[in-house]
Amino acid sequence: MEKKAKLAEQDADLEYLRSTQRNLDKEQHQDKRDSLAARLRAGDREAAVELVDAYYEQIYLYMRRLGHDRQASEDLTQETFFNAWHHIGQLKDGKALNGWLYRIASNVSRLHWRKNKHTEVIGIEDIEMPRSIKSETDKIEHNEQLELLKNAVERLPMKLRQTIILHYMQQLTIAEAADAAGLNQGTYKSRLNRALKTLRKEII
């Protein structure tokens, strides 16, 4: 009993330390975002370079996952950052940075689809396998599940597809994803639930 109590105490202490570290990491990350946002609003061109360095890959993958081909995704990613710099006055603070940049990217993508209505939507790319999966059998099974999921997401209407991509693939919070989609949180959650229900029916 005494051993179990000591182990429980050690586990609790370890979890407390991990939780504290996570909170510190979040605070540091938020401080960086606030600083970057302030410098961007002040017209600091070095901050603009930092923004591109920090977000280029994310926005490019977002464009690919929305169904644009490689060349279009590169062009639209560049256009996103150009528009971000042009409309920098709209950025409120560091907390809004993710949602604000993804909203610009979403608008750039939407306008492209309107202008190119007959362009073929490309399949979703770059869904990575979690590193925790080790055995070959598990990898094969996981790959099959990912393929099913990927195909199901690709068949969703674009509005539902976007909600899944923003929250689950780009890993935005609900608040950031709703902002990126130009929706209030209640509407976004409702759309996300609808997308998940559709996916469950497709996969089961």
Domain hosting 170: range is 127-204
Residues 137 and 171 in one domain: yes
Least confident range from 19-28, 38-47, 105-114, 152-161: namely 19-28
Same-domain check for residues 77 and 33: yes
Sequence-ordered alpha helix ranges (H) in the chain: 2-41, 45-65, 70-86, 97-115, 136-155, 158-164, 174-181, 185-203
The closest alpha carbon to 83, from 114, 51, 36, 39, belongs to 51
Residue 172 in tokens: 């935005």
Residue 142: predicted pLDDT: 45
Which domain-ending residue is among 86, 106, 122? 122
- Which of 67, 102, 122 is the endpoint of a domain? 122
Please indicate whether residue 37 or residue 171 has the higher confidence score (pLDDT): 171
Taking the alpha carbons of 195, 198, 202, 203 in that order, is the dihedral positive or negative?
Answer: positive
Question: Does residue 166 share a domain with residue 97?
Answer: no
Could you give the percent of the chain with pLDDT greater than 90? Answer: 38
> What does pTM read for this prediction?
0.71
Convert the pLDDT of each residue in 75-88 to its tens digit. Answer: 999 999 999 998 88
Residue 184 has phi, psi (to 5 degrees) of: -75, 160
Same domain, 12 and 63: yes
What's the pLDDT tens digit per position in 4-25? 555 556 666 556 545 555 444 4
The predicted pLDDT at position 7 comes to: 59
pLDDT digits (tens, 9 = 90+) for 125-167: 544 434 443 445 554 554 566 677 778 888 889 999 999 999 9
pLDDT for 50-77, tens place per residue? Answer: 999 999 999 999 999 998 989 999 999 9
The rounded mean pLDDT for the chain is: 79
Helices 174-181 and 185-203 sit at what angle, rounded to 10 degrees?
100
Question: Are residues 162 and 67 part of one domain?
Answer: no
CATH number at residue 137: 1.10.10.10
